[in-house]
């Protein structure tokens, strides 16, 4: 069953449903379909990642192996820090707009030479802010610039026709132009 429209697809078997906490576990095919729909809307990797999270639906769970298989099947190029996070993901859940990544442990990587770390548990809210995709209320992610700063929000913006990634941290905000 598609998590988006409730119609049967694939094997004809509905996703597993956990009655105790009202959570639907998505299959590889469900996740592949969500990725395909997000890819149809944008070619930008940052916007695509945000669209995938936005399209996941309500109370869902995705085992890490299911996510990795769906990404491999979709031939989605997952580079940078998100690839490290996906590789270590044990479970991904979404309850309303809040996404939770449960990882195998603390993960450290770099973005353009800047150290970044993800705690064992990473949470954030997905949505839009001013009509642009945004990831808000981020918990469990920090970057190192002289000190460790917690990342609070990431938003895709546009300024005079140029796309910008706006990042707010516990130490202030910074805009990064995107090509």
158 alpha carbon, distance to own chain's centre: 21
When divided into structural domains, the chain yields a total of: 1
Domain containing 117 equals 16-177
Per-residue pLDDT reduced to its tens digit, 63-100: 999 999 998 888 777 776 678 888 899 999 999 889 99
Q: Is the pTM of this model over 0.85?
A: no
Q: Residue 72: what pLDDT? A: 87
DSSP sequence for 77-134: ---THHHHHHHHEEEEEEETTEEEEEESS-EEEEETTEEEEEEEEEEEEEEEETTEEE
Structural domain contains residue 156? yes
Radius of gyration of the chain (CA): 16
CB 157 within 8 A of CB 132: yes
Structural domain contains residue 50? yes
Per-residue pLDDT reduced to its tens digit, 99-156: 999 999 999 988 878 899 999 999 999 888 888 888 899 999 999 988 999 999 998 8
Structural domain contains residue 69? yes
Structural domain contains residue 126? yes
Structural domain contains residue 2? no
């Amino acid at each position: 069953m598609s998590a988006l429209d409730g119609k049967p697809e694939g094997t004809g078997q509905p996703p597993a449903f956990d009655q105790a906490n009202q959570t639907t576990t998505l299959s590889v095919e469900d996740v592949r379909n969500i990725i395909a729909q997000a890819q149809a809307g944008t070619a930008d990797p940052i916007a695509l990642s945000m669209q995938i999270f936005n399209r996941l639906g309500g109370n869902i769970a995705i085992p890490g192996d299911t996510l990795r298989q769906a990404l491999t099947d979709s031939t989605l190029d997952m580079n940078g820090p998100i690839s490290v996070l996906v590789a270590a993901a044990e479970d991904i859940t979404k309850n309303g707009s809040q996404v939770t990544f449960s990882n195998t442990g603390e993960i450290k990587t770099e973005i353009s030479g800047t150290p970044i770390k993800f705690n064992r548990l990473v949470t954030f809210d997905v949505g839009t802010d001013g009509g642009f995709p945004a990831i808000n209320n981020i918990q469990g992610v920090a970057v190192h610039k002289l000190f460790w700063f917690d990342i609070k929000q990431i938003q895709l913006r546009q300024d005079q026709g140029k796309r910008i990634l706006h990042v707010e941290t516990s130490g202030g905000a910074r805009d990064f132009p995107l090509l």
